[in-house]
Amino acid sequence: MQPPAGTGSVRMVKIDGVDLQPCGGTHVANIKEIGTAKISKIENKGKRNRRIHLLLEPLS
């Protein structure tokens, strides 16, 4: 997967074995900082696209 073309840089978020996407607003250095993530909903957005809604539970 390639980041969008253009000027400047785009932060890429990689979850090993799962996905690689341009940053969508979760600004953490490591996914472990988020805590527990639970999938609450998956929407079909096209032949190869899905929107996943997550519920994030902060670390105690």
* Predicted local distance difference test score (pLDDT) of residue 28: 77
SS3 11: coil
CA-nearest of 15, 20, 17, 18 to 2 is 20
Q: What is the mean pLDDT of the chain?
A: 80
- Is pTM beyond 0.75 here? no
- Domain limits, the chain: 12-57
Question: pLDDT, tens digit, for every residue of 18-40?
Answer: 888 877 666 778 777 878 889 99
